[in-house]
Amino acid sequence: MTINSDPKVHKSEEEWRELLTPEQFHVLRKHGTERAGSSTLNDEHRDGTFICAACDNLLFKTNAKFESGTGWPSFFQPYSADAITEHKDRSFFMTRIEVRCANCDGHLGHVFKDGPQPTGLRYCMNGVAMNFTPDEND
């Protein structure tokens, strides 16, 4: 588990509020969760890259996306080992592993150990926390 105590992007709460939509701010900066099934990224299957909605950090590739049936975009591995950080989350009377953007420390979602091979992990992400950039040849 990587702990990122000094993200590369530093902004005040006011700057984040100006940059993000209210829903993005709630998820990325206040550790909220979007409603299951509400993200258009659930149905995104073109080749491309999912990037942080706050700072454009590369987070996940389409080839690591899978249908988890949870209502949130799910991936079995991040774009790279240094794309995200993981943190213990003890909210809601349980212990989970929170996933944040390594660049801006924005909350993305959680990772669980019930995903497909080759990793066995399920990165369950809030779609509102990400944007999608299709590969140029699509």
SS3 sequence of 34-91: CCCCCCHHHHCCCCEEEEECCCCCEEEEHHHEECCCCCCCEECCCCCCCCEEEEEECH
User: What angle is formed at CA 99 by the lines to CA 88 and CA 106, rounded to 5 degrees?
Assistant: 110
As a whole number of angstroms, the distance between CA 86 and CA 17 comes to: 24
Strand partners, 88: 97
Token reading at 108: 């993305």
- Asked if 129 and 52 count as a contact pair (C-beta separation under 8 A), the reply is yes
Tell me the HSE value of 81 on the side-chain side, using a 13 A CA sphere.
2
User: Is 124 considered catalytic here?
Assistant: yes
- Catalytic residue positions? 124
